[in-house]
Structure 1
């Protein structure tokens, strides 16, 4: 999927952090439905994906694009949105028998509690805050203070050419967050939406999408 998304653009934008990048996510909300979301600085051409995995003879082009600039510009401090984020929550640990001064190793957070804390620790610097629940709606004494659900944890492992041994496999964990947020810094939040949040962005992590709150 990483390669297929990259092939949708004649020239990929820079990945040095100086500008928006291509972000993507695959959602499977129903057994017979798979949705690919892409956010990018330029319009993608997904003809090849429709030919390989869609219905080329069906009515319509098989995908829909929207201009993002107007939506981003309209975001304002205090706006409340429903959101979905698929991310790679990680932390750094020392090897069990590591010697003093040895570098740390990146490891995935494994529990919903630590995955939630990972997101809460990044909300301020990302320009938003997760909406807190009223006390009377909190079902648990600890870990249920916010409008946030952690679901669909997927450990992934695959080989990236030209790697040959298992040690060179790509390994990471995807986690999906559904919740409600409030915009605290529109300029910073726009950067979060166009640059992504967390690691493994090339592999379908980091893209946050918004929906009106009912």
Structure 2
């Protein structure tokens, strides 16, 4: 495997009208970030580009992390924010079985409603998971992604609600998880980093960040 990805860390300018618009409207945010990747990527451009993003907010700053195979931050408005761009190849090369890492991810934990037998062939609606059910969902997905969790700290994130004008209307329940884990399968973890975890990837879910765990 020769993984290829870049990560842009964009410290958003709160005075930018484009930023204000994108923070209000998840569809506009998605459209803005798709400008960072090449054009003419076919019928599934986000998936083809490998574009994932996450909004990290504190009391004083809002920072976008944007990941894709290639990124061109110059295609954003000049006043959008300050951008640092880095190649993720060194991180992929450092992933080894047995190492301990810190992680952060925003996910959309859901389950699909089970329908009665007389509705076989139909898809049940997706039901958001909260509390221990959401924690179990993330623990299971993390294991599939090559991580054995040591700790997990859930933080509810405001649900993504595109404006009422969107058709069909959407609402994505999001939870951020922070913690530490042991890498059990570097190849599975690389795949998860490149492709994201779970649903709602067009709305700020799925991107997992990794860093070496510090020891006391």
Give the 3 Å change call, closer, same or farther, for CA 199–160 of structure 1 in structure 2: farther
**Aligned ranges 1:1-214 → 2 under 5 Å:** 1-11=29-39, 15=44, 21-28=50-57, 30-51=58-79, 53-54=80-81, 62-94=82-114, 100-101=119-120, 102-109=122-129, 111-131=130-150, 147-159=151-163, 163=167, 168-214=168-214
Contact 1:154–1:173, Cα closer than 8 Å, also in 2? yes
Unaligned runs of 5+ in 2: 1-28
- Structure 1's 176 and 157: CA in aligned 2 closer, same or farther, altered over 3 A? same
What is the alpha-carbon distance in structure 2 between the residues aligned to residue 162 and residue 155 of structure 1?
A: 15
Maintained 8 Å contact 1:13/1:41: no
Report the Cα distance in structure 2 between the residues aligned to 1:184 and 1:8, rounded to whole angstroms.
33
* CA–CA separation in structure 2 for the residues paired with 1:41 and 1:12: 15
Instruction: Check whether the contact 1:26–1:35 (CA below 8 A) recurs between aligned residues.
Output: yes
TM-score by length of 1: 0.76
**Aligned equivalents of 1:13, 1:192: Cα separation in 2:** 21
CA drift of 1:177 comes to: 0.3
After TM superposition, the score normalised by the length of structure 2 is 0.75
Larger radius of gyration: 1
Q: CA 1:17–1:38 in structure 2 vs 1: closer, same or farther (change >3 Å)?
A: closer
Deviation at 1:19, TM superposition (A): 6.3
C-alpha distance in 2 between matches for 1:117 and 1:86: 15
Query: How big is each residue's C-alpha offset from its partner over 1:107-130, in whole Å with a ceiling of 9 and x where there is no partner?
Result: 111x22111000112222211110
Root mean square deviation of aligned Cα: 2.6
4+ residue runs of structure 1 moved beyond 6 angstroms? 16-20
CA contact (8 A) 1:20 1:194 kept: no
Report the Cα offset of residue 94 of structure 1. Answer: 4.3
Does the 8 Å CA contact 1:19/1:195 hold for their aligned counterparts? no
Assess, with a 3 A threshold, how the Cα gap between structure 1 residues 113 and 46 changes in structure 2: closer, same or farther.
farther
Contact 1:123 1:130 in 2 (8 A): yes
CA distance in 1, matches of 2:134, 2:52: 21
User: In structure 2, the residue corresponding to 1:65 is in which secondary structure?
Assistant: strand
Ranges in structure 1 where 5+ consecutive residues have no aligned partner: 55-61, 132-146
Question: CA separation in 1, counterparts of 2:171 and 2:208?
Answer: 22
